[in-house]
Structure 1
Amino acid sequence: MWLKNLQIYRLPANYAMTAAQLNECLLSRAFVPCTGMDVQSQGFAPPRDGGDLVHTVNGQMLLKLCTEKRLLPASVINQVSKAKAAELEDQQGFKPGRKQMREIKEQVADELLPRAFAVQNHTAVWIDPVNGWLVIDSATPSKADDVLKLLLKSVDQFPVTSLRVIQSPLAAMTSWLSSDEAPIGFTIDQDTELRSCGMDKSAVRYVSHTLDADDMGRHIAAGKQCTRLALTWADKITFVLTESLAIKRVTALDVIKENSDSKMQDDCERFDSDFVLMTGELSRMLADIVDALGGEASA
């Protein structure tokens, strides 16, 4: 298992709460499927079937937020409401008015909701209490906020903070492209986006394209700044760094996959082995990214 999109937060180094203590706190927010008239249900579920809400290996913790939503499209409500309105018109001899139509739609929604199809999605949360990382596998900050809100409701005085660095990713990535030189331990790949900070908001995007230094220089001289940049770390992991310090499209390269024990037949052992391998590499990668951005900013 590998996290694909990293929203990164900070915990105090050597965070003292144990997995057992955290598990106890999360029990009050355990996931329960939608029942009755629930449109959505959200809570923490075991990362591994039959396990605790906090799965831990070598001091690294893994959580899973489960969100279930009932799908009740407006088109379905409108279709059924239209049929009911036609029946009512035959009974009363005139078309239902706005208020009556609103009441019909509300009644139809109440009738259909318990039978609506429910879909689930899961968001992984990795906690590294040794190095003080809390990472949420989400492509958008809004989903990460949902996780944090539930954690803050579950754990009293949960000491999570945003990651702050000395040099902004926007300035750093623009500098790397301008000089055609990546920070130590990294290489620049073939995807990037440069965007103007002027009124026109013009942008140019390169996808699987050689990033020519002269081209990059012209765009930067014209006032554009780098908002996304694909990088490879230590010839092991590729990713895209964004201006908001989110890391997207994380992919482990073959050199890491070859180190995993593919001969293991037990799913639980394989899961734990992959988790240990992933957390070890990502912990080092995150530290190097912070260093490349000038270090961590003091509060």
Structure 2
Amino acid sequence: MFFKNLQVYRLPAPWAMTAESLASSLASHAFAPASSNELLRQGWAAPRGDGTPLVHAVNGQFLMQLATEKKVLPAKVINQVAKAKAAELEEQQGFPPGKKAMKELKERVADELLPRAFPIRSDTRVWIDPVNGWLVVDAASPAKADDVVKLLLKAVDRMPLESLRVQRSPVAVMTGWLEADEAPYGFTIDQDAELRATGESRAAVRYVRHTLEPGDVGAHIAAGKQCTRLAMTWNDRISLVLTESLAIKGVKPLDVIKEGNNVAHNDVERFDNDFVLMAGELAKLLADLVEALGGEARG
């Protein structure tokens, strides 16, 4: 249940929309499997499975899920079939198809093969905290999060959603933490980092499970490199990697959280307990991280 990657957005706090109203808006864009001639289909699916609401609400927190079904049609297969058809054409007409004809042939082959392509489904979860105004997409890439946001804005009329903006540059702040060998209150610096030069060379040095010695790191900073990724631990409860774009990756709840989780009597209770626990911890983490980055940028 715990989100592994956080692409963070802002809503007004508090956000007045109810789970029922949000689910009603999503219903017009509910997921349905792709038809035989469709390569891609996206839509909202129930996060707890079929027959449950599109928005799962517990203790005022919302959980949603975008389902994506994409058919796999390898270029190698298309090229192989197109090559065979091109050979047949050459035999019939006495000369090979030209560049334009070959392109059109490949397009026709792709259309013919599409109904037999194997569909692969992936799910992207979304957490909304209406109380504190957070919307978080569990996605490693901004492009994947953009897919979620675009469909959400299409479904919910005039949704007041914005990207998270902070007062200080994450790159400058992370570089400062490393240079001073001191993390902000509530955080500790771990053993993974990336420093990258800003000049034409784009030289980079990466530390992976390696002690960040102040002397070594300081020499790289003095040479003009800045920190673009930094592994940290928050309050001995969650480990994470902060990136230059304000994305938070590699999120892992530590044992202190797992040990404190209540024992559930069934799968439904366990799902809800895990969700409430995650929402509570991540809301505090995000608030502390924004504060460490100088607070939110307004206007």
- Give the TM-score band, short-chain normalised: over 0.9
For structure 2, the residue ranges without an aligned partner over 5 or more in a row are: none
Query: Paired residue for 1:8?
Result: 8
Q: Aligned-pair distance for 1:124?
A: 0.8
Deviation string 1:36-61 (CA, Å, 9 cap, x unpaired) is 31110011111011211111110100
Deviation larger for 236-245 or 163-172: 163-172
1:152 aligned residue: 153
Question: What SS is found at the alignment partner of 2:260?
Answer: coil
Asked if 1 retains the 8 angstrom alpha-carbon contact of 2:264 and 2:273, the reply is no
Q: SS state of the match for residue 126, structure 1?
A: strand
- Residue matched to 1:96: 97
Q: Structure 2 vs 1, CA of residues 104 and 298 (structure 1 numbering), >3 Å: closer, same or farther?
A: closer
TM-score (norm 1): 0.96
What CA distance in whole angstroms lies between the structure 2 residues aligned with 1:282 and 1:100? 55
| Aligned match of 2:110 | 109
Structure 2 residue 12 is matched with structure 1 residue 21: no
SS in 1 for 2:52: coil
2:239 aligned counterpart, secondary structure: strand
Alignment of 1:174-213 (within 5 A): 174-213=175-214
Separation in structure 2 between the aligned mates of residue 106 and residue 197 of structure 1, nearest angstrom: 43
Name the counterpart of 2:77.
76
1:93 shift after superposition:
4.2
Residue of structure 2 in register with 1:266 after alignment: 266
Aligned to 2:223: 222
Quote the Cα distance in structure 1 between the aligned partners of 2:59 and 2:130. Answer: 11
Q: For residue 85 of structure 2, give the secondary structure of its aligned residue in structure 1.
A: helix
Tell me by how many angstroms 1:70 deviates: 0.7
Give the deviation of 1:95 after TM superposition: 3.3
The aligned residue for residue 251 of structure 2 is 250
Partners of 2:103 and 2:180 lie apart in 1 by: 62
Alpha-carbon spacing, 1:184–1:99, altered in 2? closer, same or farther (3 Å): closer
- C-alpha deviations, 1:141-189, integer Å up to 9, x for none? 1111111111111111100111111111111111111111110001110
AA in 2 matched with 1:166: Q
What is the CA distance between 1:101 and its match in structure 2? Answer: 3.1
Q: Which residue of 2 aligns with 1:287?
A: 287
Q: Secondary structure at the match of 1:145?
A: helix
Counterpart in the other structure of 1:37: 37
Q: Per-residue displacement from partner, 1:205-226 (whole Å, max 9, x unpaired)?
A: 1110111111121111111111
Change (3 A) 1:114 1:294: same
Total equivalences in the alignment = 298
| Cα pair distance change 1:46/1:91, threshold 3 Å | same
SS of residue paired to 1:26: helix
**How far did 1:264 drift?**
2.5
Q: CA RMSD in A?
A: 1.3
1:51-109 deviation digits (Å, cap 9, x = unpaired): 11111110100111111111111111111122223333344444334444334323222
Instruction: Give % identity.
Output: 65
Aligned to 2:276: 276
TM-score scaled by structure 2?
0.96
Match of 2:162? Answer: 161
Q: Secondary structure of the equivalent of 1:258?
A: helix
Please, which runs of 5 or more residues in structure 1 have no aligned partner?
none
Give per-residue Cα distances to partners, 1:105-158, cap 9 Å, x unaligned: 232222110110011111111100000000011111111111111111111110
